Amino acid sequence: MGEELPAPAAAAEKKFAMILSVAAGILLLALKALAWQWTGSTAILSDLGESAAHLVAVGFAAYSLWLSLRPADANHLYGHAKISFFSAGFEGAMIIAAALYILYEAVGAALRGPELSHLSIGLALTALGAVLNGALGWHLVRTGKKRGSIILEANGHHVLTDCWTSIGVLIALTLVQLTGWLYWDPLFAAIAALNIFFSGLRLIRRSVSGLMDAADPSIHRQIEALVRTETRKHGITHHNLRHRNIGDAHYVELHLSFPPDVLLRDAHQVATQVEDSLEKKIHPAASVITHLECEGDHV
């Protein structure tokens, strides 16, 4: 959990992180294309294919972030934040498409027989790409978690996957140089493809879970504990607690039960205090709605 920022500042931080991701994606794609052109390495081609898929996905992610930050309107009364889950699913699909292409190229290179050249240049450019991707991925995941943006977090995980692919390429080309066995190149490309494939599946699974409002047990326990603490503090009980993740915030609903002799005005004041307290304590953000009723109404 990061430090609290005013909404405009948090939005600006998210936008800057996305702009940085797009700019870095273009730069890294150019570096890897140059490295592949010099070496003819299938492993580098796999890295290039993954970066190309990522650049397409990050374009959709940038649009999704822009849309998610728009306020609610007459057609979208709850806002646009759910686009976050579509973005994560699209990015996962692009990762899987890249993995299948990489696997196809790796098998083809193994059957044809690998042909490599200028490995030193390829190693240097790939190493530079790995460092840049590692730093960018860490920043995106960190910012996404701090600001509750699944778009940035998914994008960051994709970048980190790209980084691991680059590290695999470095290992493959180093082994080729040390042993002279060219088949290290397509072998590591195939391994990278499998790793990328399962990373894409995880993103799609998370996307589907979000769209279907699947409850995270750990989040439920945290919200339940906060609600229990607040209601006990005011000497009331609660039931019918429900919540859903909309991408960058939680919508929370619950019923509060008051003794029959409590005036509506007083009960409403207590409910408002409970709502305000929960909205401050639930991260990254929350909108809490309570329903007031008398004890014994629900047996």
The DSSP result for 87-117, as a single string, is HHHHHHHHHHHHHHHHHHHHHHHHHH-----
Read off the pLDDT of each residue in 89-108 and give the average, rounded to a whole number: 85
Crossing angle, helix 184-211 and helix 150-179, to 10 degrees? 170
Lowest model confidence (mean pLDDT) among 8-12, 238-242, 281-285: 8-12
pLDDT surpasses 70 at 28 = yes
Higher pLDDT, 79 or 230: 230
The pLDDT value given to residue 89: 85
The pLDDT value given to residue 298: 63
The pLDDT value given to residue 170: 87
pLDDT band at residue 255 under the 50/70/90 scheme: very high
pLDDT surpasses 60 at 245 = yes
Write the pLDDT tens digit of every residue in 209-244.
888 888 888 889 999 999 999 999 999 999 999 998
Read off the pLDDT of each residue in 63-67 and give the average, rounded to a whole number: 78
Structure tokens of 270? 């207590």
pLDDT surpasses 60 at 265 = yes
Burial class (CB in 10 A: 0-12, 13-18, 19+), 240: exposed
Beta bridge partners of 288: 252
pLDDT surpasses 50 at 2 = no
pLDDT band at residue 101 under the 50/70/90 scheme: confident
| Residue that is written with structure tokens 């960051």 in the block | 156
Closest CA to 48 of 210, 192, 155: 192
Lowest model confidence (mean pLDDT) among 88-97, 151-160, 272-281: 151-160
Write the pLDDT tens digit of every residue in 135-173.
988 988 888 887 777 778 877 887 887 788 788 888 888
- Domains in the chain (CATH in brackets) are 7-211 (1.20.1510.10), 217-294 (3.30.70.1350)
pLDDT surpasses 60 at 299 = no
Q: Which of 73-77, 102-106, 213-217, 232-236 has the highest mean pLDDT?
A: 232-236
Mean pLDDT, all residues of the chain = 84
